[in-house]
């Protein structure tokens, strides 16, 4: 451990550069996650644990659709950051405009299909009629903000790829304030606003996403920014070709990743309602806990891509390795918090003593999982920044479908470990795959990939 800190001390300038770019991204991603967490907390406190389960099932389907189809932003970040390193502003702008059109079309298509088939989708879960009804209600209002959300992801990736992580942070922060205020007045009703319950929380989230998209449009299309975009509808195969080639593996990866969570959610749905509510709460806690690692991964992706654009492979490697160490250290810190102060974290979401009692021992497994999970997130960002999305897709699919899903079934249902079984399975799957991903990055084979 002492040698590790000595090495990190010798890379102080590099660490500061990573953190300077990561800090706004960390805040932005944390706030982005807080948009959903705020709903969960306020619903849990104002309505009850049954409503938490309904929102959890709805959000799981939403995340499945979002993360699968927004993966084209992965390719955009890699391509824009490399053009940024090459100091080719015209190319940056052209890639950005193509990415916006692509996200708009995907957002419209996904929203339409989700609306038509929503009831069929939710029937995969074995849940009580009331929870099913509330999940559909919540999902209907969330769909209002689907297209703006896809556009927001595209706009944020454009800014991040060009080295601007601060603007997305401020926009997301403002959207969160609107969402929390909207939750307060729409869930229980206030003044002229009706009492909408669970639907109010979803409507508030959608409206805040619409406002965020409007601000992004002003920044990128109206304000005189470094990348001032124009509304163009003609698709350029010279841009779309590399964009698809880099992004498609990421989309496939996210599809199977989110599908694995849906399948595990089906396993959890076979447990009692208290266990379902606990699962949703713990997922929200964990999603907040690894946001710093996501922020560092965004910085790593941008800086690795920029370094490759500058033809500096050694610097790109140093950025990836140093960033991953920072991810591990953060995971250790969060793991300690999970073990030492589980009660305040659980009480933030619910006062149900049965759910809290079930949750305390599970958080020990969550703590053990944190260092490996954070390492995987950051190292994945570094590989995506290099455009090495195909290999990452293969490793992720092996981890999820050869290890995580089968082990989850074994631990949750066969061995009757309940919710704890999910994290037991994840610990084993991450440990087995982290070594392979590290060896891939250390080999520097990603430096030979061409983006165009």
Residue ranges of the domains in the chain? Answer: 2-448
Q: Are 300 and 385 in contact (CB under 8 A)?
A: yes
Q: pLDDT tens per residue, the chain (452 residues)?
A: 555 555 666 677 888 888 887 887 777 766 766 666 666 666 666 566 566 667 766 777 777 777 776 666 777 777 887 787 777 778 888 888 888 888 888 889 888 888 888 888 777 776 677 778 888 888 888 889 889 988 998 898 888 877 787 888 889 889 888 888 888 888 878 878 888 888 888 898 899 999 999 999 999 888 866 677 777 777 777 777 777 777 778 778 878 887 888 888 889 888 887 887 888 889 878 887 888 888 888 888 888 888 887 888 888 888 988 999 999 999 999 999 999 999 998 888 778 888 899 999 999 999 999 999 999 999 998 888 887 888 888 999 999 999 999 999 999 999 999 999 999 999 999 999 999 999 999 888 887 765 44
pTM to 2 decimals?
0.71
Within 8 A by CB and 6+ apart from 405, the residues are: 260, 263, 264, 425
**C-alpha count within 13 angstroms, C-beta hemisphere, residue 192:** 0
Tokens (6 digits) for 2: 């002492």
For residues 68 and 66, give the distance between their C-alpha atoms in angstroms, rounded to a whole number: 6
Closest by Cα among 215, 95, 90 to 151: 215
What are the backbone dihedrals phi and psi of residue 193, each rounded to the nearest 5 degrees, phi first?
-85, 135
């Amino acid at each position: 451990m002492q040698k590790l800190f000595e090495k990190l001390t010798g890379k102080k300038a590099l660490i500061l550069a990573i953190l300077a770019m990561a800090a706004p991204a960390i805040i932005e991603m944390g706030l982005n996650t807080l948009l959903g967490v705020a709903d969960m907390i306020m619903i849990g406190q104002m309505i009850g644990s049954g409503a938490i389960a309904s929102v959890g099932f709805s959000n799981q389907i939403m995340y499945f659709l979002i993360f699968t189809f927004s993966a084209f932003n992965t390719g955009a970040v890699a391509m824009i950051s490399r053009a940024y390193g090459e100091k080719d502003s015209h190319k940056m702008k052209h890639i950005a405009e193509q990415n916006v059109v692509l996200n708009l079309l995907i957002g419209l298509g996904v929203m339409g299909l989700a609306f038509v088939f929503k009831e069929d989708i939710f029937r995969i879960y074995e849940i009580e009629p009331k929870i099913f009804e509330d999940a559909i209600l919540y999902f209907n209002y969330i769909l209002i903000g689907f297209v703006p959300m896809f556009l927001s992801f595209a706009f944020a990736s454009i800014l991040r790829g060009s080295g601007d992580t601060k603007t997305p942070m401020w926009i997301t922060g403002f959207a969160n304030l609107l969402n929390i205020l909207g939750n307060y007045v729409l869930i229980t009703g206030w003044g002229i606003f009706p009492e909408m319950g669970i639907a109010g929380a979803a409507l508030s989230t959608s409206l805040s996403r619409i406002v965020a998209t409007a601000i992004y449009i002003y920044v990128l299309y109206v304000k005189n920014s470094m990348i001032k975009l124009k509304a163009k509808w003609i698709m350029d195969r010279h841009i779309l070709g590399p964009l698809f080639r880099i992004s498609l593996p990421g989309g496939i990866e996210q599809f199977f990743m989110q599908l694995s969570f849906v399948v595990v959610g089906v396993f959890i749905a076979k447990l009692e309602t208290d266990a379902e509510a606990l699962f949703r709460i713990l997922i929200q806690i964990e999603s907040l806990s690894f946001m710093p690692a996501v922020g560092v991964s965004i910085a790593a992706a941008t800086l690795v891509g920029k370094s490759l654009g500058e033809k500096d492979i050694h610097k790109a490697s140093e950025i990836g390795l140093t960033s991953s160490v920072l991810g591990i250290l953060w995971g250790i810190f969060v793991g300690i918090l999970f073990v030492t102060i589980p009660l305040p974290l659980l009480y933030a979401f619910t006062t149900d003593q049965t759910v809290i009692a079930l949750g305390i021992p599970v958080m020990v497994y969550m703590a053990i999982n944190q260092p490996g999970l954070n390492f995987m997130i950051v190292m994945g960002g570094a590989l995506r920044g290099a455009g090495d999305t195909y290999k990452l897709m293969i490793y992720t699919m092996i981890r999820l479908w050869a290890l995580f899903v089968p082990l989850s079934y074994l631990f949750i249902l066969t061995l009757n470990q309940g919710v704890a079984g999910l994290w037991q399975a994840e610990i084993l799957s991450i440990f087995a795959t982290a070594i392979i991903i590290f060896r891939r990055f250390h080999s520097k084979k990603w430096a030979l990939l061409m983006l165009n």
